Chains A and B, each alone.
Chain A
Amino acid sequence: MGMTMTQKILSAHAGLTTVVPGQLIEANLDLVLGNDVTTPPAIDVFAKTCACGVFDRKKVALVPDHFTPNKDIKSAEHCKKIRRFAREHDIENYYEIGDPQMGVEHVILPENGLVAPGDAIIGADSHTCTYGALGAFATGVGSTDLACAMATGKTWFRVPDAIRFVLNGALRPGITGKDLILHIIGMIGVDGALYQSMEFCGSGVSTLSMADRLTICNMAIEAGGKNGIFPVDEKTVEYLRKYAPKRFAEGNYKVFEADADAEYIRTIELDLDRIPLTVAFPHLPDNTRVVGSFDEVIIDQVVIGSCTNGRLHDLRIAADVLRGRKVKKGIRCIILPGSQRVWKEALKEGLLDVFAESNCVVSAPTCGPCLGGHMGILAEGERCVSTTNRNFVGRMGHPKSEVYLTGVPVAAASAVLGHIAAPSELGDLIKED
């Protein structure tokens, strides 16, 4: 029996010639990730393992991003604990506030060249699945897993089944990868890919930008998936050349392809030309509707950013919508560049100027309001349009607040109009002061 792309990566990392779904394997890891929420408990477990050190100081990444710049004393203590651990173990990939390479974990790891095709990666964060965009296997785990993997460079996996998504055609102008993944989650449900890989293939793949692929894989977990993964093509290699020049030059990556006779438990064909502008209503990512198909939803706040949509690509789209327009009076529009690099590039390109002129506020790179941490918490009854990935009850603040998930174009247009809207509704509406 042939293997899926994920199964092939796993079998290579387990030193096996073949694996089958359900099999338990022990695999070597190329990268182990923790953040400021999950690393502090992992440090305590790590101490119990009697390990003298981490397995490889270059293959551990510790990213304080959720509550940074520290929002309160508790988060400051957590970050202090990580900082001390990182120093003690001489961790190469530890990112302090203001470092040129700092930012939100799933934005910066690919940007800093730590992810390449064929890698096996675990992170104590559910959105670690983002890295599948580069043809790597990546999945989220718990703090005990993180601790033990930091010590040994290994972990165990149960080999997953896969759903194959065959993408045909191309997204229409103005439709983004976010619309596609929201549409898919709406179709299969928040447990539609439970424990399975979501493997994307088909002629439509080449039309998707790397930014879109990162957004799509980021939300695999919102369909319950173990991982999402894209095949490696010219765009992937180009991305690698730009962001991981050393690994690219050394050829230090491996392209895996699914076997022609790989078995999938389900195949879903999607015509990209037919994907509509999509929004997920409260309180689950699968509660999707087509923009324009519902009554006016008046909003209080817009958040553009996060590991889902906080890349330069996203900020450019936001600026294109906001340029020459103003955020509607009474609406707060918060923009969170996903990393210091994104922030700087946005500055250089004049995007931050556009945002300032449009009356948005631009934050330091942080997870912030995405998990209801800080920098934009919602009060009772407030509604927010957000480019993040979860709209669970209370995710962004008060249990009676509401989060509507969309792509960047809808979020930016909604900020100008004060209700959930497609950019086409803007017409030549400008300068509403």
Chain B
Amino acid sequence: MTAKGKVFKYGANVDTDVIIPARYLNTADPAELAKHCMEDIDASFVSRVQAGDIIVGGPNFGCGSSREHAPVAIKASGISCVIAPSFARIFYRNAINMGLAILESAEASEGVGDGDTVEVDFETGVIRDITTGKSYTAKPFPDFIRKIIESDGLVGYISDKKPGCV
């Protein structure tokens, strides 16, 4: 599993309120949520983002509320992966449960520039900045987490396995 796209770069402590403002939480529809993704930190994000693009953030990405809408909005906007030195605990759990790939790498967060084209290999954890030619390594996901992401989240992952139906 790999991802390749253009980088949208943000700073530290990107919180769930700027990822998806509370005023839009009256829907759970991913496509609706995607329309307002990152609106309060980057008004042009929605018009510029293309399928496969990558968000690179600073430390404590996703802090704030426990809303599952935040990773859902990012994923539905087309983002294939979020890279940051660290994620807020609940966002981390929600992102994986909703099938949004996230990688921890302080070096990549530091080194990769806004607008660079980056390629990520989820099996090896290698993050390659095609624009600059530099490479970084994040800790790769174990198999089952990769499968959760490939199955579009935890619900998809366990339905694939048909739990309880022997």
Contacts and interface: CB of A to CB of B under 8 A. Distances in A.
A248 interface: no
Given A24-B141, A50-B159, A142-B66, A156 B164 contact: no
Contacts of B23: none
A141 to B, nearest CB: 7
Contacts of A51: 158-159, 162-165
A263 B164 CA distance: 39
A158 B142 contact: no
Nearest to A26: B144
Nearest to A144: B97
Of residues B89, B94, B96, B155, which shows the largest number of chain A Cβ atoms within 10 Å of its Cβ?
B155
Nearest to B161: A152
B68 interface: yes
Interface in A126-165: 141-142, 144-145, 147-148, 151-152, 156, 158
**Could you tell me the dominant secondary structure of chain B's interface residues?**
helix
B139 A22 contact: yes
A144 B142 contact: no
Interface string B71-104: 0000000000000000001101110111000000
A13 to B, nearest CB: 14
Interface stretch (A52-60, A237-245, A251-259, A395-403): A52-60
A332 to B, nearest CB: 32
Nearest to A145: B97
Contacts, number: 69
A48 B90 contact: no
B155 A152 contact: no
B70 interface: no
Interface in B124-154: 139, 141-142, 144-145, 148, 154
A54 B157 CA distance: 16
Contact of A156 (B94, B145, B159, B163): B145
Of residues A22, A50, A141, which shows the largest number of chain B Cβ atoms within 10 Å of its Cβ?
A50
A179 to B, nearest CB: 28
Contacts of B66: 142
Contact of A158 (B92, B94, B144, B158): B92
A142 B155 contact: no
Of residues B98, B158, B159, B164, which shows the largest number of chain A Cβ atoms within 10 Å of its Cβ?
B164
B155 A49 contact: yes
Contacts of B164: 51-55, 151-152
A76 interface: no
Given A49-B158, A145-B93, A145-B97, A55 B144 contact: no
A50 B156 CA distance: 9
A23 B104 CA distance: 12
Interface string A221-258: 00000100000000000000000000000000000000
Given A142-B68, A144-B94, 7 more contacts: A23-B142, A45-B155, A50-B165, A52-B164, A141-B93, A152-B158, A195-B89
The 9 closest A-B pairs by CB, nearest first: A151-B163, A52-B164, A50-B159, A52-B165, A51-B164, A152-B163, A51-B163, A53-B164, A195-B89
